[in-house]
Amino acid sequence: MRIALGLAYDGSFDSGWQRQRHCSSIQAHVEHALSCVAASPIEIMCAGRTDKGVHATAQVIHFDTSAIRDSYAWVAGTNHYLPSHIKVQWAKAVSDDFHARFKAKYRRYLYGLQIHAQALAHFPQGITRWPRMLDREAMQQALPSLLGTQDFSAFRDRQCQAKSPIKTIEHCELIQIPQGFLLDIKADAFLHHMVRNIVGALLAIGEHRRPVSWMDTLIASRDREQAWLTAPPHGLYLAEVGYPEIWEIPEGLQVPWFLSQFIGR
C-alpha cells in the first residue's frame, strides 16, 4: 500500500530535510516515527528537499508499507512519536503510480522579510530581518522578468543536482506586510537555493545597489557569480505542492499562522 502524508515543520532545529549520518534531519525523524507506527522500517520520498533552517507548511511525502492502518492512525500515531517542531497534517492511501516528487505539477514558496534595525523579539527564526529600508516599488517592477520558462542558472547553487536549470515560474508577487514584505512564488520546480538567491537579487534592487533592469541582465548572464547574496533560510516556507486531481491531494496555500492575516488567500 502507498500512503501520502502532508507535513508541516519548523526547520530551525535540524540540519535540513535529508537524512544524514552524524546530525538530525526532518527525514530521519519522520521515518523513525512512521516505522514505530508501522512496526517495520519505512523509507519516505518528499516533494521537495528543504535546506537547514527552511520551514514547510505543506510538504508532501509518500511511502510504501504492508501495515494496515487508517488515516487517523497514520496522523495521530506518527505525531505521537515526532518532536514538537514536526507534525503530520493529513494522510491518505494513494495508487502505486503516485510519487511525491515526480508527479508534482508545481511547488509554491513564501519568503517573509521584515525591515527592522534591531533584532526581533518574536518569531526570530520564522522571518528574515533586514536592517535597511527597501524600495518596494523597484522590487515589484523587477518581478515580471522572472516569469515564464527560462534558464535560471544565475540563481543556481554550485551544489545543485538538478538535470536542467530551465524552470517555469508561473506566479511571483511581493505582498506588503507590516514593516516588511512577503514574496509569493510558484514554479513547476526550483533549483537548489533558487528562491533565496532570487530574494538576494531583489534585496540588491530594493537597496538601489542595482537598477530594476539588472534582473533581466542577471538572468541572461546565466552566471551565479554575477548575482548578489543568498538570503538567509529562516524566512522561507514550502507552502503548497500541487498534483493532478486524480489523487485528490489536499491543495491550497498554507500560510504560517503569524503571517496569515496579511495575505488574502
d(Cα 29, Cα 243) in Å, to the nearest integer? 25
Closest Cα to residue 53, out of 231, 257, 214?
231
Q: Which residue has the cell 505539477?
A: 105
**Among 11-15, 28-32, 35-39, 125-129, the least confident range:** 125-129
Q: Tens digit of pLDDT for each residue in 142-183?
A: 999 999 999 999 999 888 888 899 999 999 999 988 788 899
Closest Cα to residue 71, out of 94, 40, 95, 48?
94
For residue 102 the three cell numbers come to 515526480
Per-residue pLDDT band for 122 (boundaries 50, 70, 90) equals low
Global confidence as pTM: 0.94
User: What domains, with CATH codes, occur in the chain?
Assistant: 2-103 (3.30.70.580), 106-238 (3.30.70.660)
Residue among 51, 151, 157, 188 flagged as catalytic: 51
Average pLDDT value for residue range 239-256: 93
Catalytic site residue 184? no
